[in-house]
Amino acid sequence: MRALALTAVTAVLIAACGGTAQPAPTAAATTRAPTAAPTTAAPAAAASVTFKADLKTTNEVPPIANDEKSGSGTATVTFDLTRSAAGAITAAKAKFDVQLSGFPTTTAITLGHIHKAAAGANGAVAVGFKTDAPNPIALTTGGTTIAKADITVDPALAQQIIDDPAGYYVNIHSATNPGGVVRGQLTKQ
């Protein structure tokens, strides 16, 4: 009787589980061909990086208080980069496009640089683009455009600027304000 009861219970369990009992799968049946893991290519590192700077006399340290305080401008800085297969910068060239306006017609622009320092602090020159102080640009109309290209930038310095643009500023110097007349921190575009 016990055997009959055991058989009945087994039949009920098999039915509850969805049908007849299946033989256990063999090792060959459970072995699956390996599937390749999906691969995603790393994004390509940029071949150029662009920054902007809003140039103001009030950004200078100390702010400009003489007749040139009316001036302002914008700067666009583009780094054209050469990279290794691993993405490291191996060479860098900079292009500068600066627009100045609102200055007295007696203003003479002597120098232009990227300096290393945060807003509110003065710092050392990192990249020069107008470096011929003895040949100033006379702003006889109160403004000008300065365009310089093909400026060599040390690859390590280019990477530092890309990593921390707010730690660098564009500074334009004049004969009246040799420490700088307008400046603005870089922002990546």
Beta strand 144-153 with 89-101: parallel, antiparallel or unpaired?
Answer: antiparallel
Whether residue 22 lies inside any domain: the answer is: no
Phi/psi at 16 (5° precision): -65, -30
Q: What tokens were used for 137?
A: 């640009």
Which backbone phi and psi does 58 adopt, to 5 degrees? -75, -15
Specify the pTM.
0.76
Domain contains 3: no
Which residues contact residue 185 at a Cβ distance below 8 angstroms, ignoring those fewer than 6 apart? 53, 59, 118, 119, 165, 166, 168, 169
139 assigned to some structural domain: yes
- Asked, for residue 157, whether it belongs to a domain, the answer is yes
Overall number of domains in the chain: 1
In residues, how long is the chain? Answer: 189
Residue 64: which CATH number? 2.60.40
Sequence letter at residue 9: V
pLDDT in tens, the chain (189 residues): 444 444 443 443 344 444 444 445 555 545 555 555 555 555 567 799 999 999 999 999 999 999 999 999 999 999 999 999 999 999 999 999 999 999 999 999 999 999 999 999 999 999 999 999 999 999 999 999 999 999 999 999 999 999 999 999 999 999 999 999 999 999 999
Q: Which domain range does residue 136 map to?
A: 48-188
